[in-house]
């Protein structure tokens, strides 16, 4: 297949682009390199440095004649979305609409969308949340991802575009940017390896569902060939609080730093964990990497980078 990967120089997108290429697909990457890194781009991919909302994207679609789009480019910072919801909407909603219109114009058959299970459901009323959980996002970021799902559905109904939404839990692993899209595993690993104090927001009892990037890559490979329009949670079904993540990384890095807590951050959810029964049943996907093994591999990667 000819596949366009947006955000393919970023943390998750670059791993997926690598996997598509390893499976024999022809990959084109677009990324504005705001949080992505040029060094993450696979040498066998065609690369364009461009915003997904730029008018020049039309020419890339015309030249590429893609069979599928795997859309990972996004404004991913929940806190920034709270401070500047207009910017979040311009990148995530209008950028996605630009891609969808180009899919319509050039006959793209399949659209894989990196959505969010961590933010789209808001403060959960069921634990873990399944795909039918009410969607009341607590941040503009979650709202924009939900809006994109609705727009993709519209294009599917009217222009025969097939889609799969993958609602990710908190993805972590090698290549995660501790400065851009952020994530406590990347932030804590980087600071502790440098012997610097890592600050836990609030009391640290807020929980997340941490899924390793390699498991997320497998979900995308399976979704590429999934024949139906559908949406899946991609998570472990296991809640882990931030204090536990800090303790495990403190041990893995050998830093031996005491805990330090700062003020809680606006817009953060208290608990988030995703049921993955539907993905197990229909997509034949389940997480294979334990939190212990995933944290170990992540710390080793950041150690080599240091």
> Could you tell me which residues come within 8 angstroms of residue 245 by beta carbon, excluding any fewer than 6 positions away?
184, 185, 188, 210, 295
Catalytic status, residue 231: no
Please name the residue that has the structure tokens 């909603």: 93
Which of 230, 240, 86, 88 minimizes the C-alpha distance to 167?
230
With beta carbons less than 8 A apart as the criterion, state whether 297 and 248 touch. no
Alpha carbons 117 and 169: distance in angstroms, whole number? 5
Alpha carbons 75 and 91: distance in angstroms, whole number? 6
Backbone angles phi, psi at 129, to 5 degrees: -85, 130
Which of 8, 71, 4, 3 minimizes the C-alpha distance to 35?
8
Please name the residue that has the structure tokens 């891609």: 99
Alpha carbons 283 and 279: distance in angstroms, whole number? 5
- Could you please report the per-residue DSSP string of 258-300? PPEEEPPPTT--S---B--HHIIIII-----S-HHHHHHHHHH
Alpha carbons 81 and 182: distance in angstroms, whole number? 13
From the list 87, 121, 141, 246, the catalytic residue is 141
Residues annotated as catalytic (active site), given as ranges: 141
């Amino acid at each position: 297949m000819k596949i366009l990967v947006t955000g393919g120089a970023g943390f998750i997108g670059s791993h997926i682009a690598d996997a598509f290429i390893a499976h024999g697909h022809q990959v084109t990457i677009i990324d504005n390199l705001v949080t992505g890194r040029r060094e993450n781009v696979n040498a066998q991919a065609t690369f364009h440095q461009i915003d997904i909302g730029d008018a020049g994207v039309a020419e890339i679609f015309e030249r590429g004649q893609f069979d599928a789009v795997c859309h990972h480019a996004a404004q991913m910072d929940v806190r920034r979305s709270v401070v500047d919801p207009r910017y979040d909407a311009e990148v995530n909603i209008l950028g996605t609409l630009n891609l969808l219109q180009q899919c319509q114009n050039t006959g793209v058959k399949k659209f894989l969308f990196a959505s969010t299970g961590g933010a789209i459901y808001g403060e959960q009323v069921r634990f873990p949340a399944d795909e039918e959980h009410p969607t009341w996002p607590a941040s503009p970021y979650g709202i924009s991802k939900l809006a994109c799902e609705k727009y993709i559905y519209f294009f599917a109904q009217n222009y025969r575009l097939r889609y799969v939404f993958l609602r990710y839990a908190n993805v972590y692993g090698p290549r995660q940017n501790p400065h851009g899209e952020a994530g406590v595993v990347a932030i804590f690993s980087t600071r502790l390896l440098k012997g610097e104090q890592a600050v836990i927001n609030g009391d640290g009892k807020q929980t997340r569902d941490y899924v390793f990037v390699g498991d997320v890559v497998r979900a995308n490979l399976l979704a590429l060939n999934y024949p139906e329009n559908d949406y899946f949670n991609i998570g472990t079904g296991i809640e882990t609080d931030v204090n536990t993540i800090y303790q495990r990384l403190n041990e893995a890095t050998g830093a031996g730093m005491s805990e330090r807590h700062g003020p809680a951050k606006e817009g953060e959810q208290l608990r988030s964990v995703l049921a993955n029964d539907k993905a197990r049943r229909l997509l034949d996907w389940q997480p294979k990497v334990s939190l212990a093994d995933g944290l170990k591999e992540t710390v080793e990667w950041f150690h080599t980078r240091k």
